[in-house]
Structure 1
Amino acid sequence: MTSSRRYSDQDVEHYDRPRRRGSRPRTKERPTYDDAVDGVVVTVDRGRFTVVVGGQQIWAVKARPLGRKGVVVGDRVRVVGDVSGAEGSLARIVEVEPRTTVLRRTADDDDPVERVVVANASQLVVVTALADPEPRHGLIDRALVAAYDAGMAPLLCLTKADLADPETLLATYRALGVPWVVTRRDDDGLGGLAELRERLAGRASVLLGHSGVGKSTLVNALVPDAGREVGQVNAVTGRGRHTSTSALMLPLPGADDTPDGWIIDTPGIRSFGLAHVQPEHLIEAFPDLDEMTEDCPRGCTHAADEPECGLDEAVARGEADPDRVASFRRLLDARSVPPYLV
């Protein structure tokens, strides 16, 4: 007699009833996932996930018991099922490991819904062109705020240095101590790539920037078989068109074909909401300034218009660099500028 059961005893769905709230498991013998294997999510596409397991890409879906728990690029997961990677095979993600870092954004500054962009990245590379299109400080400031809030190390990557002098932009961020690399087009291709590769080695780095700044060009140069589409800047609006439509995590080629780090290419963005960032958390990214605010009045946001702020008193005593304080406050102010104007 043929069984009419939808799930076999080997399926995790056999043990759960998700359709009715408050329903109990059919059995107390829960799956142990002893046969699960570790993997890293490298793309997400309409509920399907591409996962790297043992150096091989496989395809997976999220197991029903995970419920609404989000799975994003960079997540370290455990999968069961068919992990052969053969055409038509499909595994199931049954566990998501705790995240070390989470890069978040909101659609707007009054939007309470946070969107996780990438998980477990250690470095945020803010890619900005020095010309064509012109650099936009608003997004750079907001990206730095998001990096500090997430506990990620920031890196400025200035492209198209053959069109403009990088010093003008660097002078704005030097007081913050943000490291930078500069790339330019020359007769030999893309200059400055070796220094950028050195900064990326051994780390998981997110590349973030406006459309048209050269992100896809960098990715294709760093990972020759990436095949990311390169767009052009609109001569009328001065903005690029979106060429990357979803986040993609790629291994940075190293010696003996082993990955020497990971880079995550994100879609070009035109807004970056920071509703989730609190001023008291932001200043913790600057231990020297944070120490100077210990005697601030309760509720002090450390903005320029705050009375009796410890930062002002430290500047008056000559204990704080006024340029560094001003740069920090510019990051604070970035939270109040509508994200679609950056």
Structure 2
Amino acid sequence: MVTTVDRGRWTCAPDGDASREPVTAMRARELGRTPVVVGDRVGLVGDLSGKPDTLARIVRVEERTTVLRRTADDTDPVERLVVANAELLVIVTAVADPVPRTGFVDRCLVAAYAGGLSPLLCLTKADLADPAPFAASYAELELPVITTRRDEPERVTELANALAGRVSALVGHSGVGKSTLVNTLVPDADRRVGQVSGVGKGRHTTVAALALPLPAELGGWVVDTPGVRSFGLAHVTTNDVIAAFDDLATAIDDCPRGCGHLGPPADPECALDTLVEQGQLRAGRLAALRRVLVALRPV
């Protein structure tokens, strides 16, 4: 498993086991420009000892189960892979200082649904404001919500249990407390960042994703993605999002071609409205989903 990437060098955890010596590798020539990102499962040859100044080669990238990707903005056709094979996308948002923004959360949800990740909303700083009103915006989407408080650090245990045994990616704006969560979840996070600072003879900065192992009693990995502060969604269609919902994916087959699923007046013949009329879909659930889909409309 690739745990960090820096200047043409990849740090890999053999068999995804954090207890083993990490291996530094380069990409084999035959892979060409095949992207290799944090979370990728790769095949290595060469020196796999992990000793200083040794170098293996990545000769194969396994098929990805999920992909978190973004574009620079909503008009950029070039997709940027952020994390591969993560099961969970943890969207970290403060309920105050800074104030929460539904727009950012909505874009993260779209990226999660389109990439096959399960989203989880983590509301921090609940000691400063009531998280319930903001969380209520997503209740109809059945989005799991975990809250934390700065005066009750034990609350992070609930989040740790949700991440146990899984590969999870954390995203969030600066100042929302994401770094505090990472340092609490992974007590030696600062030391581990220092260990990879020499990879590629560069240094780990806040623009690179980094996979950190959770404590052994929990298992799993947390991928910190400090460089992802917003998501360009040029690569996503409304159908990509709807397809993530088992109860809705089939229904849109009856929508007219080009339907954006936003309802009247933009999409007066959307089949999702028919589901509501027939009592097969809650109106509130459709409204919540459509609010998220608005993130895909051209600005």
TM-score, with normalisation over the residues of structure 1? 0.78
Q: What is the match of residue 83 of structure 1? A: 48
Q: What is the match of residue 311 of structure 1? A: 272
Please list every run of at least 4 consecutive aligned residues from structure 1 whose deviation after the TM superposition is greater than 4 angstroms: none
Give the aligned residue type for 1:284: A
Q: How far apart, CA to CA, are the structure 2 residues paired with 1:142 and 1:153?
A: 14
The yes-or-no answer on 1:138 pairing with 2:97 is no
Q: What is the match of residue 177 of structure 2? A: 214
SS at match of 1:197: helix
From 284, 287, 296, the counterpart of 1:326? 287
Give the aligned residue type for 2:261: H
RMSD over aligned CA atoms reads: 1.8
Q: How far apart, CA to CA, are the structure 2 residues paired with 1:73 and 1:170?
A: 30
Structure 2: unaligned runs, 5 residues or longer: 193-204
Give the aligned residue type for 1:219: V
SS at match of 2:150: strand
Structure 1: unaligned runs, 5 residues or longer: 1-39, 230-242
Q: What is the match of residue 148 of structure 2? A: 183
TM-score, with normalisation over the residues of structure 2? 0.89
CA drift of 1:102 comes to: 1.0
Q: How far apart, CA to CA, are the structure 2 residues paired with 1:264 and 1:270?
A: 14
Asked whether the equivalents of residues 209 and 227 of structure 2 are also in contact (C-alpha less than 8 Å), the reply is no
Q: How far apart, CA to CA, are the structure 1 residues paired with 2:191 and 2:180?
A: 8
Q: How far apart, CA to CA, are the structure 1 residues paired with 2:252 and 2:46?
A: 54
Give the aligned residue type for 2:180: T
The yes-or-no answer on 1:223 pairing with 2:191 is no
The yes-or-no answer on 1:295 pairing with 2:254 is yes
Q: How far apart, CA to CA, are the structure 2 residues paired with 1:100 and 1:110?
A: 26
CA offsets 1:154-181 (integer angstroms, 9 cap, x no match): 1001111111111011110001000011
SS at match of 2:241: helix
CA offsets 1:258-284 (integer angstroms, 9 cap, x no match): x61111000143321111111122111
What percentage of residue pairs aligned between the two structures are identical? 59
Q: What is the match of residue 251 of structure 1? A: 213
Asked whether the equivalents of residues 300 and 306 of structure 1 are also in contact (C-alpha less than 8 Å), the reply is yes
CA drift of 1:293 comes to: 3.4
The yes-or-no answer on 1:41 pairing with 2:9 is no
Q: What is the match of residue 61 of structure 1? A: 26
Q: How far apart, CA to CA, are the structure 2 residues paired with 1:247 and 1:286?
A: 28
Q: How far apart, CA to CA, are the structure 1 residues paired with 2:232 and 2:294?
A: 13
CA offsets 1:69-93 (integer angstroms, 9 cap, x no match): 1110011111122222222111111
Which structure: larger Rg? 1
Cα gap change, 1:209/1:337 in structure 2, threshold over 3 Å: closer, same or farther? farther
Cα gap change, 1:88/1:175 in structure 2, threshold over 3 Å: closer, same or farther? same
Q: What is the match of residue 271 of structure 1? A: 230
Between the two structures, name the one with larger relative contact order (CA 8 Å, sep ≥ 6): 2
